[in-house]
Structure 1
Amino acid sequence: MSFIKNHIAQQTLNRRKMLLLSAYGLCGAAFGASVRPGRAAPAPRDIKVAWSYRDRTNPYWNGIVSGGEAFVESLGWSRGDMINLINGGSSEKSLSDVKSLLSRYGNKTALAIDPNDMPNCRPVVEAVSQTGAYVSTIWNKTDDLHPWDFGDNYVSHMTWSDVQPSEQTARVLFDAMGGKGGVVHLGGIASNNPAIERLKGLKNALKAYPNIELLAVQAADWDTQKANQVMSGFLTRYGDAIKGVHCASDTMAYGVIEALLAEGAGNIPVVSYDGNPQAVQMVTQGKLLATVFTNPHWAGGITASLAYHAAIGSFRPSQEPREHREFYGPATVVTTSDAKDFKAKYIDSNPQYNWNDFWSLAKGPIKYDT
């Protein structure tokens, strides 16, 4: 499990760097350096492509950004031509970075972004729309915010229907527990759509397993170190009553497993979500029971492509059907029975995607609870 310790150490280093950059007013320097004067990219209207996200040391977000870089390389650019806005999980910084980007490039901006939490999506979209730029979002927005209410400027929103896959992983976990015993859940940021849906999936599965008891639910904010601390607290409080762990992300599962091993409880089964390379490898080894792959490489590339092509006028978002403006991304549950084949196809090498085929892997329009 040395990679888990290395992952925790890298998160600590990254956090320190973010604090130093913030203190000296240098956050966002990554995007300033990537578009130095004199670097003319062969793009119509001199459009600047940017990705705003939490943290590249997180394997999931690294997959997202790698997809964005693959897209800009398909334009004949270098991957360094993509502007990186790294918010470190701060919605305030996310919005501030976007506004700085817009003040510099105005309507020549094509932005791909996870707004970090649901409430932050509206001010981001409004700032982009008022500037005449273009934005495509993923994961987090409120149900009353829709791309078609902003003409062409709010290009699209992609999320994932996490309830059913999360329920599937919970069932895998409960079966491994013999259908009885206590389970704990470590969730993401409470206001995040995926955190809400993944907990709902767990609770749906519980209805079919009357002898499984949900001992505790606690947010660990998608963070490996915090998950390690939360799991240590659960072990202190519940001890041997814990027979299984349901995690809302792979990165939190790494911290959980480290805590379990430290207490000599490495035999407790764990399931997670995101399908990161390390997690899929752990599933092949039986160290995780299951994870859920959401194809971040494709999502990162397509989200950037949609914003860019809207910006250069390749298509008019307002003329597209609504299922092309709000749609679900793909999700695949990976278990020990199929992890090796899955790893060979999707992890060991990224499939080649046509970045102009925007909705090839989309799984239908987003549905809202009425």
Structure 2
Amino acid sequence: MSFIKKFIEQETVNRRNLLLASAYGLGGLAALGALGPNAVRAATANPTIAWSYRDRTNPYWNYIVSGGEAFVESLGLPKTALVNLINEGSSEKSLADVKALLGKNGSKVALAIDANDAPNCRPVVEAVAAAGAYVSTIWNKTDDLHPWDFGDHYVSHMTWSDEGPAEQTARILMDAMGKKGGVVHLGGIASNNPAIERLNGLKKALKDYPDVQLLDAQPADWDTQKANQVMAGFITRYGDEIKGVHCANDTIAYGVLEALRAEGIEGMPVVSYDGNQQAVELVAKGQILATVFTNPYWGGGISAALAYYAATGAFKPSNEPKEHREFYGPTILVTPKDALEFKAKYLDTNPKYDWKDFWGPSKGQIQYKS
């Protein structure tokens, strides 16, 4: 498990370097100030393609951006043509970067973005629509915000139905615990839709396990180092009461495993989410019981493709049915019995995708709870 310790150390170095690169690359854009009022314009040729995301040091987001780069290369452009807007988990920076990009390029923008938290999605979409540009969002938005309310300029929103898969991993976890004892949950950013759904999945599963107690649930902000600290605190507080750990993503699990190792705890049942390569390798070894793959490479590429082809007029979003404007991405449960086969198919080499097949692997229209 030495790679986990190295992962934590390298994460700090990479994050610092990314912040410096981001500040350098966006300095000229930020100087342009906030977006002024712009008239809505027609579709345009050769829009600037951008991806706004949290942090490429996180393997999940690296897959996302790699998919975006693959799409850009499919257009005959170098991957460096993709503009990277790195928000480091700050909704304020996310919005400021988008406005700066629009201030420089106006309507000639095709943007893919995770707005970082649900409330930030609306001002991002409003800024893009006001500029006459085009945006596809993933993961985080409020339930009352819909692409069809913005004509063609809010192209699409994709999320993943996390509650069901998180419930599956929770059941695997509690079965491994012998259906009794205490479980702890380490979540993402508290206001993130996937963080909420993944905790809800655990709580739903708990209803069928009366002898399992949820000892504690704390946010770890999708971060390995914070997860390490949170788990160390759980061990101090609950000690031997902890019989299993439910993690909201793989990078959280890495911090958990390192905290357990530091205390000499071996064989603790742990489950995670995202299906990153290192996590899948740990699943194959039985050190993580299960993870869930959301195909971020496809998600990153297709989100950029949707925004780009809407911007160029290749298709008109407002002519599409609602299930093409808001839709679920694919999920695959990965367990020890199939981890190596899964790794060979999806991770050892990136599958080839038709980036004009916008909805092929998608899983239907998003459903909202009343």
TM-score by length of 1: 0.94
**CA distance in structure 2 between the partners assigned to 1:21 and 1:111 by the alignment:** 20
Q: CA deviation at 1:15?
A: 3.6
> Following TM superposition, by how much is the alpha carbon of 1:3 offset from its aligned partner in structure 2, in angstroms?
1.8
Whether 1:92 and 2:99 are equivalent positions in the alignment is no
1:26 maps to 2:24: yes
- The 2-side partners of 1:321 and 1:20 are apart by 42
Cα distance in 2 between the residues matched to 1:21 and 1:67 = 21
The Cα of 1:7 is off from its aligned counterpart by: 1.6
Aligned position for 1:235: 235
Q: Deviations over 1:115-134 (max 9, x none)?
A: 00001000000000000000
> 1:317 matched to which residue of 2?
317
Match in the other structure for 2:40: none
For structure 1, the 5+ residue unaligned runs are: 33-42
Aligned-pair CA distance for 1:5: 1.7
Q: Deviations over 1:241-294 (max 9, x none)?
A: 000000000000000000000001121110000000100111001110000000
State the SS of the aligned residue for 1:179.
Answer: coil
Residue 272 (str. 1) matches residue 234 (str. 2)? no
- Cα distance in 1, alignment partners of residues 351 and 142 from structure 2: 32
The residue type equivalent to 2:209 in the other structure is Y
* Deviation of the 1:145 alpha carbon: 0.3
> What are the residue-to-residue correspondences of 1:55-70 with 2, within 5 Å?
55-70=55-70
Dislocated runs of 4+, deviation >6 Å: none
Q: CA RMSD in A?
A: 1.6
Q: Is the 2:29–2:104 Cα contact (8 Å) retained in structure 1?
A: no
**Deviation sequence 1:142-186 (CA, Å, 0-9, x none):** 000000000000000000000000000000000110111100000
Q: C-alpha separation between the residues in 1 aligned to 2:278 and 2:347?
A: 9
Residue 263 in structure 1 maps to residue 231 in structure 2:
no
Give the unaligned 5+ runs of structure 2: 31-42
Amino acid at match of 1:322: K
Q: Give the corresponding residue for 2:71.
A: 71
Report if aligned partners of 1:162, 1:201 keep a CA contact under 8 Å in 2: yes
Distance 1:221 1:362 in 2: 27
Report the counterpart of residue 138 of structure 1 in structure 2. Answer: 138
Q: 1:60-97: CA deviations, max 9, x gaps?
A: 00000000000010000110111100111111100010
Taking the TM superposition and a 5 Å limit, the aligned residue runs for 1:263-302 are 263-302=263-302
Partner SS for 2:208: coil
Would the aligned equivalents of 2:284 and 2:336 in 1 still touch at CA under 8 Å?
yes
Q: Aligned partners of 1:83, 1:271: CA distance in 2, in Å? A: 34
1:250: which partner in 2?
250
Shift of the alpha carbon at 1:14? Answer: 3.3
Residues 209-245 of structure 1: per-residue CA shift (max 9 Å, x gap): 1111100000000000000000000000000000000
> 1:110 maps to which residue?
110
CA contact (8 A) 1:250 1:276 kept: yes
Residue 150 of structure 2 is aligned to residue 150 of structure 1: yes
The number of residues matched between the two structures is 358
Per-residue Cα deviation, 1:31-52 (whole angstroms, up to 9, x for no partner): 99xxxxxxxxxx9722110000
Where 1:46 maps in the other structure, the secondary structure is coil
SS in 2 for 1:216: strand
2:37 aligns to what? none
Alignment match, 2:362: 362
Q: Hey, what does 2:188 align to over in structure 1?
A: 188
Contact 1:28 1:84 in 2 (8 A): no
Residue aligning to 2:216: 216
Residues 30 and 84 of structure 1 are in contact (CA less than 8 Å); yes or no, is this contact kept in structure 2? no
Instruction: State the partner residue of 1:81.
Output: 81
AA matched with 2:321 = P
TM-score normalised by the chain length of structure 2: 0.94
Contact 1:112/1:307 (8 A) holds in 2:
yes
Instruction: Name the CA distance, whole Å, in 1 between partners of 2:318 and 2:366.
Output: 17
SS in 2 for 1:157: strand
Which residue of structure 1 aligns with residue 124 of structure 2? 124
What displacement does 1:2 show? 2.2
Q: Secondary structure at the match of 1:245?
A: strand
Does residue 307 of structure 2 align to residue 307 of structure 1? yes
Q: What's the secondary structure of 1:327's corresponding residue? A: strand
- Identity in percent: 70
The answer for the alignment partner of 1:333 in structure 2 is 333
- Partners in 1 of 2:143 and 2:3 — Cα distance? 38
Query: How far has the Cα of 1:364 moved from its partner?
Result: 0.4
3-state DSSP of counterpart to 2:369: coil
Taking the aligned partners of 2:286 and 2:28, their CA distance within structure 1 comes to 39
